[in-house]
Amino acid sequence: MIPVTTALIAANVAMFLLQDVFPGWIDSLALWPPGAEQADGASFAPWQLVTYAFLHAGIWHIAFNMFALYMFGGPVERLLGTRRYLTYYFVCVVSAALTQLAFAAVTGGFNPSIGASGGVFGLLLAYGFYFPNNRVMLIFPPIPMPARVFVLVYAALELFLGVTGTQEGVAHFAHLGGMIGGIALLAFWRGGGGRRRI
């Protein structure tokens, strides 16, 4: 059973379908940099640190994210359990959002961000951490590699694309931010953080 992963996928798909019915949701629930107020009044609000992760820009955007969420989230959820898995996922989502806001503040960006990729990249990191020797296949080129190598390759690629700006319209630093949040929480747990004292 992977109830949280299933629920997250269902929520993302439901929100994607509702975006066409209520297009104004994009403006109010997307992650806006502070100070980037739009003509329709849309601007940054605290709930956007989470809600942006349930919106997607198109069918391929949500399809790729939900496939990755299922692929990496299921094994991680089974290992961590419902409560820790849910905590981990949303820590990665918020960490990705904060990283994207910091990047926007440095670069002067005013565009909103949407998508579950920050949480998904956090799950990718956890998968590589807990299942380092499992084989993962790249989509292009189709090369199998250990999960730990896959994570390092993807992180390096995201950093390169983010620094060079060669893939415009993709929040590469948000992806890295999701991984950073994941690293921090895994290190906290591994060091004994969060244990109850008796």
CATH of the domain at 13: 1.20.1540.10
Note whether residue 24 is domain-resident.
yes
Per-residue pLDDT of the chain (198 residues; tens, 9 = 90+): 689 999 999 999 999 999 888 877 777 899 998 876 665 567 888 999 999 999 999 999 999 999 999 999 999 999 999 999 999 999 999 999 999 999 988 888 788 899 999 999 999 999 999 999 999 876 666 788 899 999 998 899 888 888 887 777 788 899 999 999 999 999 999 887 655 443
Q: Indicate whether 195 belongs to any domain.
A: no
Query: The whole model's pTM is what?
Result: 0.91
Quote the domain boundaries for residue 44. Answer: 3-190
**Assigned token pair, 150:** 């896959």
Residue 196 domain flag: no
Number of domains in the chain: 1
Q: Cα 98–8–145 angle (5° rounding)?
A: 80
Q: Decide if 198 is inside a domain.
A: no
Residue 147 inside a domain? The answer is: yes
